[in-house]
């Protein structure tokens, strides 16, 4: 296999090279949410996908330094809010470390299956934490799906380092 990191020599692609390469691969965008006590917590994430149908499992890869990940470890629950094209400002505020204290201000949300659900977004998946798996500087949070609600919408796409609509 080419481009395989060689641990012995330290050669092979860097994390930055991987980040740049993956920027050519379009993804959807979600806000992953949970509670820290009574406080709603959440972060923008594109490393979110379905994992298993039987049983129904999804996964979110979260940075070990993420406050949201730490809260998920404590609460044992999380939700995935899939964003529509019109929700670019949500994606930006939930990824800006400077806006941690203000992210939830003025947002329409409710508690659903033990996690905060953003009411305006087209996809909601509520989960209990099934497993946390090591993944380098991230952990893979695997959720056992307990609730799904979705409607058709123009999805928010992340590609080439920027946000796009599909339609
Ligand atoms: C487009 C985009 C996608 C992101 N995807 C992820 C992701 O999948 N996992 C992750 O841990 N952080 C991801 N981030 C970074 C987090 O959103 C960011 O670090 C956030 O401030 C974390 O908030 P928290 O520490 O309050 O949890 C992404 C950021 C952007 C702009």
Lookup: tokens for 136? 């380098």
Given ligand 1 and candidates 44, 70, 91, 104, which is best to mutate, with the most ligand atoms within 8 Å of its CB?
44
Alpha-carbon separation of residue 98 from 80, 94, 141 (angstroms): 22, 10, 24
163 CA: nearest ligand 1 atom: 1
Asked whether the predicted pLDDT for residue 4 surpasses 90, the reply is no
Distance separating alpha carbons of residues 75 and 115, to the nearest angstrom: 9
pLDDT tens digits along 11-23: 899 999 999 999 9
pTM (two decimals): 0.95
**Alpha carbon nearest to ligand 1 atom 13, residue:** 45
Cα 63 to middle of ligand 1, angstroms: 7
pLDDT digits (tens, 9 = 90+) for 38-47: 999 999 999 9
| Shortest-distance Cα residue to atom 7 of ligand 1 | 45
Please say if the pLDDT value at position 5 is more than 60: no
The H-assigned helical ranges of the chain are 15-22, 67-75, 88-93
**Ligand 1 atom 15: the closest Cα is on which residue?**
95
Ligand 1 atom, smallest distance to 103 CA: 26
Q: Which residue, 11, 69, 83, is CA-closest to 41?
A: 69
Average pLDDT over every residue of 107-126: 97
Cβ atoms of 115 and 60 closer than 8 Å: no
Helix H segments across 38-123?
A: 67-75, 88-93
* CATH number for the domain whose boundaries are 28-165: 2.30.110.10
Per domain, the residue ranges of the chain are: 28-165
Cis status of the peptide bond prior to 35, with omega within 30 of 0 = no
């Amino acid at each position: 296999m080419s481009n395989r990191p060689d641990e012995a020599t330290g050669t092979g692609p860097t994390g930055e090279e991987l980040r740049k390469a993956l920027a050519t691969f379009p993804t959807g965008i979600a806000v992953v949410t949970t509670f820290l006590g009574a406080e709603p917590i959440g972060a923008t994430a594109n490393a979110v996908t379905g994992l298993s149908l039987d049983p129904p499992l999804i996964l979110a890869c979260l940075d070990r330094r993420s406050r949201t990940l730490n809260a998920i470890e404590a609460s044992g629950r999380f939700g995935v809010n899939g964003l529509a094209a019109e929700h670019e400002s949500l994606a930006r505020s939930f990824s800006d470390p400077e806006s941690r204290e203000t992210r939830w201000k003025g947002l329409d949300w409710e508690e659903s299956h033990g996690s905060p659900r953003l009411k305006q977004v087209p996809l909601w998946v509520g989960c209990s934490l099934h497993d946390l798996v090591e993944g380098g500087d991230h952990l893979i949070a695997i959720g056992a799906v307990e609730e799904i609600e979705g409607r058709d919408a123009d999805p928010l796409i992340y590609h080439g380092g920027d946000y796009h609509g599909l339609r």
